[in-house]
Amino acid sequence: MGLITTTDRVPGLLELDRFSEADLDRWNTLSKDLDELNAILYSGVEPQRQRYHADLIGALQSVPHTPMDFAGWVRMVTLRYADGPLSTAGSLKGFGGRFNIGADVDNAIRSPWPALYIASNQETAYREKFGMAKDDRIDGLSAEELTLTPGGSYTAVRLDGHLELVFDLAQEGALEPVCKVLRKINLPVEAVKLQKRLKIPGPPATMIRTAARLIHEVLVVNWRVLPAQFGNPAVSQILAGLIIDAGYEAIRYPSTKSDGECVAVFPHRLASDATFVELADEAPASVRHTRLHLGTVDELCGWEVLPSHMRPARA
């Protein structure tokens, strides 16, 4: 049963589509197969990731790293939350961010964790917050011009800081050691069978084997596809979980929206007294915390926005 043409009876109406109950049954089957395929590609591979977990962590820890000092970097804060410019509560909502899992990633094996996202300049911070690529325009206006127009109020906060344990994705060879371990992980047989049955156009899904492929998947523009459509973490979120397990406090990465850089700081995993992020300018009296460090992380992580069963035991 489908939409039948009515153009011969009601002038001005056009048939949009025609399908049968058999078509609906076939589409439902394909939809279930696609859901199952993506479930296998995540949870079905997880036992192998756990088997090689120590090797993956060792590979990430083997990458040489240097502390990062920064001054005048920028974070865009919605005006409603301007009294908490260093709070990471917002990152725990929805699907989270590129490098942290939020409450709505239904099938995530790991619990949600927060991240403080900052950028090397105001243009990059704006583009990352609002998803505007370098050449994008809204009603003919650039990102810089939009900062002076109404339609949602926010503030640009300048930050200084020092991060002791940073994993730099752009560092040459940074991902090669972990890819050597990933090459030991095989695509489940069930996934191969489902792909053949689905007859999906293009190359079949394969396991990530190379650093080039991994960085491509981590920095894909629309990283939300897997969380939004299938409830599974994005590749970048899975990698971030491993980087956190390896003892890093932050991930440095190139912006996907501009020529700038970004950093995702994991406040709940600060490990050094030397690490801090602070407001570069004098704050209004209503701002309680102007510095993120080991002494303030418990109040800035934002665990309170999560359902009680998702919060860490200490919260």
For the chain, give the mean pLDDT.
86
Q: What pLDDT sits at residue 204?
A: 65
Q: What pLDDT sits at residue 30?
A: 58
Q: What pLDDT sits at residue 141?
A: 61
**Is the model more confident about 215 or about 4?**
215
Give the closest residue to 278 by CA, choosing from 78, 146, 118, 108: 118
Mean pLDDT of 105-116: 96
On the question of pLDDT at 31 being above 70, the answer is no
On the question of pLDDT at 315 being above 50, the answer is no
Residue ranges of domains in the chain? 21-305
Mean pLDDT of 266-271: 97
On the question of pLDDT at 78 being above 50, the answer is yes
Q: State how far the alpha carbon of 49 is from the alpha carbons of 12, 28, 38, 135, 249, in Å.
A: 58, 31, 16, 39, 22
CB contact at 8 A, 133 and 127: yes
On the question of pLDDT at 6 being above 60, the answer is no
Confidence at 3, pLDDT banded by 50, 70, 90: very low
Give the closest residue to 288 by CA, choosing from 304, 299, 280: 299
Sequence-ordered strand ranges (E) for the chain? 68-78, 96-97, 100-101, 116-119, 154-163, 166-168, 250-254, 261-265, 276-279, 291-292
How many Å apart are CA 137 and CA 135, to the nearest integer?
Answer: 7
Q: Model's pTM, two decimal places?
A: 0.85
How many Å apart are CA 158 and CA 118, to the nearest integer?
Answer: 9
Give the number of residues written for the chain. 315
On the question of pLDDT at 269 being above 80, the answer is yes
